Amino acid sequence: MRKKIKILRINRSEKEFTKSGKSWTAEVIGIQVEGQGGEKIWINGFGSKETKDWKEGDEVELYVEVNKKDGKTYYNFKPIPEEELWRDRIEERLKGIETKISEMFKKNEQGKTLNAMQSELGASPVDNPESEKLRDKILGVIKTADKSQYGEIRKKAKQRFDEGFLTRAHYDEVDKRLGSN
């Protein structure tokens, strides 16, 4: 089972193994942790790139296996591969992003604009060709319009901005051209 533990003590040693006539040496690690009932227990495993920097006081995640043999209980560990820890962190961050986007869309259903949502995310709306075309079209209308029509043009431009069809920069440009009328 996967557990997050705090290392109370750690012992490292080299041990020689033989299997099928072949010998090799491996680092064996014993870590003392607090058990479920508050008692101190030792969990043993092998050294690896994930365990090389472990020290007393560190909180680490690992897989713990409980083995019973001859009436005794033994605890073994396997470190969680670095790739799996990174994947978990990325998944956790993605869940946070999904939650934020979901909250934003809920707000949007309550009348919040796409551009306001982009601002909330800290992103500036990117100029896009469609927004440029719309801006140019509105500016063309302003040139031929009577000043009495400026209020209606401003209202339509604001609506397009709110709908996300017109970027903030393009809306501001239109609004400036319309002046205070």
Closest CA to 52 of 87, 82, 22: 82
> Which pLDDT value is given to residue 78?
94
Residue with tokens 């209980």: 73
What confidence score (pLDDT) does residue 164 get?
A: 77
Contact 79, 45 (CB under 8 A): yes
Query: What's the CA gap between 95 and 101, in Å, rounded?
Result: 10
From the list 102, 105, 103, the residue with the least C-alpha distance to 113 is: 105
Residue by residue, pLDDT tens for the chain (181 residues) are: 888 999 999 999 999 999 999 999 999 999 999 988 889 999 999 999 889 999 999 999 999 999 999 999 899 999 988 888 888 889 988 888 888 877 766 665 555 555 555 555 554 445 467 778 888 888 888 888 888 888 899 898 888 888 777 888 888 888 898 886 5
Burial of 77 (0-12, 13-18, 19+ CB in 10 A): buried
Structure pTM? 0.49
